[in-house]
Structure 1
Amino acid sequence: MTNPNLTTGSIWRLLHNDQEMARLTVTGTDMPWIHAEVETVSGFDEFRPLFCEQERALAEEDWERADACYTHIRSALTMRFADGGPVAEFMLHIHDDGTAAWRWHDEPFDVVSP
């Protein structure tokens, strides 16, 4: 059975403090990645530099900086499935070209303390 949240055209939402920041319209999947077109709304510009920094860190293979960006994104933003339910865990990349790619999990990742 096909997951309706992964259907082309389904819309996931990115939020900050329950305020919608962006709509992610699914264009396809390459599991475990989901790809989408991004429509940003008021408030997203506050986070745009963070996504740009994440993209630069990944391109430069600076994994520590990329991890710091991921942590900042996850602490500030939440996602909602197309059906409206909360996404427990996600790794999101929003690109300068107006596209996005992300992975998700239906349960929070366990954090291992040193």
Structure 2
Amino acid sequence: MTHHDLATGSIWRLRHDGREIARLTVTGADMPWAHADVEALPGFEEFRPLFREQERAVEEEDWERADACYTRIRGVLTLALPDGGEVAEFMLHIHDDGTAGWRWHDEPFDAVDQ
């Protein structure tokens, strides 16, 4: 992991079945979280309700539901670094205002690291 990955303006890519469905342009970082503006591409809309549900679950502190959303997101989507390599593990929140926050790891998170 390099600092270039989080340089303002660097672009991360969210993919579904190998197709890019959103671009995350980094606006800043507050480790371990990165922040970005989201450009939704064709194919993203079908997942927006899932991100909305996750957001609501977090607001309501319904961690079981939030975890279920996280598991579903991780099951269908991949996140790629600016250099094109995919991260092994990530936790991504996409907000209705067109911004995103995420953290990632080069290895899968342990269950205790939620």
TM exceeding 0.5: yes
Deviations 1:76-104 (A, max 9, x none): 00010011111110000000000000000
Give the TM-score normalised by structure 1.
0.94
Query: Root-mean-square deviation (CA), in Å?
Result: 1.2
Alpha-carbon distance in 1 for matches of 2:66, 2:111 = 17
Deviations 1:53-81 (A, max 9, x none): 00000000000000000000000000100
- Counterpart secondary structure, 2:57: helix
Unaligned regions of 5+ residues in structure 1, if any?
none
Alpha-carbon distance in 2 for matches of 1:97, 1:110 = 30
What is the match of residue 54 of structure 1?
A: 54
Alpha-carbon distance in 1 for matches of 2:103, 2:111 = 17
Unaligned regions of 5+ residues in structure 2, if any?
none
What is the match of residue 36 of structure 2?
A: 36
- Map 1:19-30 to 2 at 5 A: 19-30=19-30
Alpha-carbon distance in 1 for matches of 2:37, 2:17 = 22
Letter in 2 for 1:23: R
Alpha-carbon distance in 2 for matches of 1:60, 1:109 = 24
Letter in 1 for 2:103: R
What is the match of residue 77 of structure 1?
A: 77
- Report percent identity of matched pairs: 74
What is the match of residue 86 of structure 2?
A: 86
Deviations 1:35-65 (A, max 9, x none): 0000000000010000000000000000000
- Counterpart secondary structure, 2:72: helix
Once the two structures are TM-superposed, the CA of residue 108 in structure 1 deviates from its matched residue by 1.7
Question: What is the aligned residue count?
Answer: 111
Task: Detail structure 1 runs of 4+ shifted over 2 Å in the superposition.
Answer: 109-112
Once the two structures are TM-superposed, the CA of residue 111 in structure 1 deviates from its matched residue by 5.6
- Counterpart secondary structure, 1:56: helix
1:104 correspondence with 2:83? no
